[in-house]
Structure 1
């Protein structure tokens, strides 16, 4: 038995020596470079490739099965003169004996100077699609018949076929100075990866594999360049189809046309997991930075093989959005307040799919405002915005374009001068009637971005504790906005304003070149002077306004909207006061004239209170006709009819003032009210800029003359009655009255 073992050992030694000798003989006396032509032909026949081996082929057989290629290129047989792969050096070697145990033990794999040039032609076919396909016989060519073979029973799998996949054991992988160029003739785009270097540690399944990957990325539409570096530890289990990237860190710099000469520095870190068996992926410990933006979070995806769904959370630390966008070469539109967008932070849950994303449980801060709620894109391709937000306050005026405000100021400068000149001449009640204004009061600068509005898909709800809009402080504001296919509707806008309340609805149709706008508005108990002051106008009147309006217009500027304004409105002003005007003073002057007395003092500069002011308006192309103005002043009733020209903010009214039950003496004896004046409608004419209010009103001298005739007729009738009684015929009395009226 002992001798048998000795003999067996000698046999094994002899076989080993024989194998070593055979390997030595093969590697030293067999030169693969002598068979380059055969290798090329084999590549053509079996893989449809044109293989050009310009350099030497080195190889080894035992104990390492090694291969080393120098200066080689590969092309498709369709384009043999256009290689899609060039290689300066490829070196690899495998231990022979572990292969018998289904173990792949390799030394360093070296790839140097690899260049891949890939192309997709105008038909959409890629230059790589024929790789590995045998050459098809030419049309009409015949192939030798193959002998008919009897079907045989399927071979039983070997034991090692059922076992786990081949184990990998590679000392390292080193790819140096590789390059990939891809061009797509269908859209003219080009993508480049250059300076690609990959270095890894030992590659063993189940063990952490440290690696470092660096590359320069580029594209031409738009022109963009990126420098990237990715490091981490890779761990994989092929049997479980589980892959992990631990302590991953991606860092780099981005530049290009879209950044307008600026450079963005970015980095991303975390722990990544891909489980193909469960079709899930995770990114835990996410850390993201782009210039000064810093974000933390996590992200999980599922159903990767079907309709991918993802969820997670994100938190963005406070940063200056204005500086951030400037660092990316993005210019913000001019805003009324240049200090906006300087503080932004966000925390939210993230959910979505391949074509949607939603932020829920939002805690969002923008400058001095805080918001909670949900925000998302229901359809990323269509930019379908969905939002339900609640906030404490928002001064929207700060974010409005400053250019429009400047244009409005420039447009109104000439009109402002005209109003000031008119106001100066109308400072005294006995001055001539002011002229009607002529200067346009509105800007013709385009106000709406029509192209953007046509693309909007909106469903937005917003609740705010306080909203400042057009300088109006709105409390408990509610806004519901919907828009799709160029049609936008403000379904609800309501809130509390200066202890009053309002609500409004509106629609905007931008499908055509000339937008169409419709508005329905209701206001209750809002101080009218506050509304006017918010618009930068000096209020001529105070009081609580009730208003119902239904208006339509068209155009894309303030001027166009006013010029094309049509519709109707009903209004009432309660507990009002006419400022800097005293109707009693105007009446006193008229009564003094009739009494043939002079006023003892100047009664100007006083206000006129009234209990009620109401009427209706009919708008036609920017001019509002008011046929039924009524006002109730203690002891007086005021009626009027006229027009308000919104185009120039002017008015032209005829007003009648009726003295009713107040029989007390006036402050000035010259205008003592006599019972003969009760019930008479005293005429006023109001014309001029709307800002003047009652200061634009003057006593209608022609109307006063008629009243004087009426009063004289009444006095004559009283004298006749007193002296002659019924002896004077009624016909004579009427003739005398008519005669006095004509004077």
Structure 2
């Protein structure tokens, strides 16, 4: 046994000495640089590549079979340079090869530079089309898959090192360029079915027309597990950190990612477990799986932890909106179930939390057209919390200097941006149980929107409020400037008093209000919209009271002043009750015209006509009041002769005029009325005396002439 052992040891020593001596002798006799031209020609013939080996080809035999190639240039014929390489080297341990195992030392690639160019003529990384009949190698590869897998099972590499690599991608058509520099990759020992540690770092810059727009600095660590036999590949314990410069004017942002990736090609299944995605104060997580790669089925879940939106916007260099409630927009969150196919990606169900409000629904995106569809429902939302805070003295400032003579009443600032409207590709439906905005409370709020090809259609703008309902629709055509707006509106049964009380804590007008309108306008500012507003409007109000304006007192005061009737007008109620009121209005370029306003007031009827000039904020209106019964039986009793007579009242002024001062009776009409009444009284008095004299004469003459003769004589004298 001892003799056999010694013989084996001696044999091994002899083999090693022989290989070493042969390797030294081979190295002295054989120089791979002598075959540089053949290597370059083979690359040209087999792949159409122009390969230039500008440096030496070094190699060694024992104890490692090693090869090192220096200074390589690579390109396709008649195309820009594709790649440069300073050095690539690899070595294989000889002794394990005797037993069929491949043990490699480090594979090192240093100074790789890839230059990828895309232009209208094509690109520089694809060569001539593959000739017919080249399918056979692929078939051979498929048929020898088992032997290759068996070979790879025994493969061991100490490490792979990619150092100081650079990749440049240029799209000359779009004028964009992406540069990856300082690309370094280092692995631990590569062995089948064993975790392989990975370390990666790089600098990435994005350019637009040679101007830098974005800069990234990234590093990554992970463990890779390659199960070649079952075609399963895993990246676990991924920890990536990326510094992002260029998005904000301040310090670079830091993006942190922790995740696991598992891909099983044989079962056509890939999974992503994103445990952490953190940017500023935003933290998200997701679990996504993709099945059936040819016709993919996507499943998963997404969650965004509650975050402060104002703080995030400030971190991103954006101005955070000022809100009436300082705590508004400070608690935003999202959760959803993910599902999709090759063509569509959906979040269903979807939950969005905005402070104390929650919205549930779904969202989807068409991956072919990038069209979106969103459906959301919520219980309650107080929009007043999110409006700009009221500044001190804003109430007084609103009334002072707002006359057109002092400044522009309607702002020319564009409040409707046209470019975002043109870009919209959206179908949306929104429903809310209760909405509070500007003090107005609306229930069962509904909105349906369709936006395609620069046209936005709001087919449903609904709300139930103050015992009534609003049913409206609108269309915005942004296909070209100016923006065109069309509105169809129907309001029914709104209690005016309740509405005004919520708006201003007082109700100068009460009653039930209804209206319908067809309106059009154009422009993006309030000034443009008001000045171009046109269409028609019908209104109706019933069972109400106008407080602060007493039509009865105005009428009674006018009669009293002219006729000195001694009426105590202070006892008249300072309000105007009405049974119904309505009219139709035509609107042309912001001027509202009306000719048929009617109202049945308490003991009065009212008719009116005139204009309201919205651009100039002026009112020029004439009202006609007609007494239809004894006006005020106790406090303002007037002559029954005034019943059925119209008393005109002129309402003229600006929107800032006190309503009590705006409407005044037409004094000349009252004067003419009293003159006519006085004339009637004179005629009645004189006429009465004539009739009395006529009767006496008839009686006396009748005695002498007879009745018929007397009548004929008087008829000739008085004409009747």
Same fold (TM over 0.5): yes
Partner Cα separation in structure 2 for residue 242 and residue 220 of structure 1: 37
Residues 543/505 of structure 1: CA separation in 2 closer, same or farther (3 Å cut): same
Give the counterpart of 2:539 among 571, 578, 585.
Answer: 571
Question: Greater CA deviation, 180-189 or 392-401?
Answer: 392-401
Map of 1:234 onto structure 2: 224
Map of 2:276 onto structure 1: 287
Residues 239/29 of structure 1: CA separation in 2 closer, same or farther (3 Å cut): same
Instruction: Check if 1:630 corresponds to 2:598.
Output: yes
Structure 1 unmatched runs, 5+: 134-153, 419-437, 737-743
Partner Cα separation in structure 2 for residue 4 and residue 665 of structure 1: 144
Q: Write the deviation string for residues 65-88 of structure 1: whole angstroms up to 9, x where unpaired.
A: 22234x42223374799572122x
Instruction: Check if 1:103 corresponds to 2:72.
Output: no
Residue 253 of structure 1: CA displacement?
A: 0.8
Q: Answer yes or no: is the 8 Å Cα contact 2:85–2:110 preserved in 1.
A: no
Partner Cα separation in structure 2 for residue 589 and residue 81 of structure 1: 98
Instruction: Check if 1:507 corresponds to 2:475.
Output: yes
Superposition pairs of residues 88-167 of structure 1, within 5 angstroms: 89-96=87-94, 98-99=96-97, 102-120=100-118, 122-127=120-125, 129=127, 161=147, 164-167=150-153
Please give the TM-score of this superposition, normalised by the length of structure 2.
0.83
Residue 315 of structure 1: CA displacement?
A: 1.0
Map of 1:54 onto structure 2: 55
Structure 1 counterpart SS, 2:181: strand
Question: Greater CA deviation, 390-399 or 563-572?
Answer: 390-399
Q: Answer yes or no: is the 8 Å Cα contact 1:262–1:328 preserved in 2.
A: no
Partner Cα separation in structure 2 for residue 401 and residue 451 of structure 1: 24
Residue 308 of structure 1: CA displacement?
A: 4.0
Residue 175 of structure 1: CA displacement?
A: 2.3
The CA RMSD over aligned residues, in Å, is: 4.1
Q: Write the deviation string for residues 79-138 of structure 1: whole angstroms up to 9, x where unpaired.
A: 799572122x433211345446653221222333333334445521315637999xxxxx
Instruction: Check if 1:680 corresponds to 2:668.
Output: no
Map of 2:174 onto structure 1: 187
Instruction: Check if 1:465 corresponds to 2:418.
Output: no
Structure 2 counterpart SS, 1:198: strand
Residues 96/631 of structure 1: CA separation in 2 closer, same or farther (3 Å cut): same
Please give the TM-score of this superposition, normalised by the length of structure 1.
0.81
Residues 80/33 of structure 1: CA separation in 2 closer, same or farther (3 Å cut): farther
Question: Greater CA deviation, 479-488 or 718-727?
Answer: 718-727
Higher relative CO (Cα under 8 Å, sequence separation at least 6) belongs to 1
Partner Cα separation in structure 2 for residue 678 and residue 452 of structure 1: 62
Structure 1 counterpart SS, 2:622: strand
Residues 638/21 of structure 1: CA separation in 2 closer, same or farther (3 Å cut): same
Instruction: Check if 1:478 corresponds to 2:446.
Output: yes
Map of 1:263 onto structure 2: 252
Residue 408 of structure 1: CA displacement?
A: 13
Instruction: Check if 1:318 corresponds to 2:306.
Output: yes
Q: Write the deviation string for residues 560-582 of structure 1: whole angstroms up to 9, x where unpaired.
A: 22222222222222232222222
Q: Answer yes or no: is the 8 Å Cα contact 2:613–2:619 preserved in 1.
A: yes
Partner Cα separation in structure 1 for residue 351 and residue 150 of structure 2: 50
Residues 624/245 of structure 1: CA separation in 2 closer, same or farther (3 Å cut): same
Number of positions where the alignment pairs a residue of Structure 1 with one of Structure 2:
681
Q: Write the deviation string for residues 188-239 of structure 1: whole angstroms up to 9, x where unpaired.
A: 3322222222222211111111111111122213522211111111111222
Q: Write the deviation string for residues 452-506 of structure 1: whole angstroms up to 9, x where unpaired.
A: 1122122111111222446532222111111211222111111122333222111
Partner Cα separation in structure 1 for residue 80 and residue 626 of structure 2: 105
Instruction: Check if 1:253 corresponds to 2:243.
Output: yes
Partner Cα separation in structure 2 for residue 510 and residue 411 of structure 1: 32
Residues 722/158 of structure 1: CA separation in 2 closer, same or farther (3 Å cut): closer
Partner Cα separation in structure 2 for residue 45 and residue 678 of structure 1: 115
Structure 2 unmatched runs, 5+: 132-139, 696-710
Map of 1:347 onto structure 2: 335
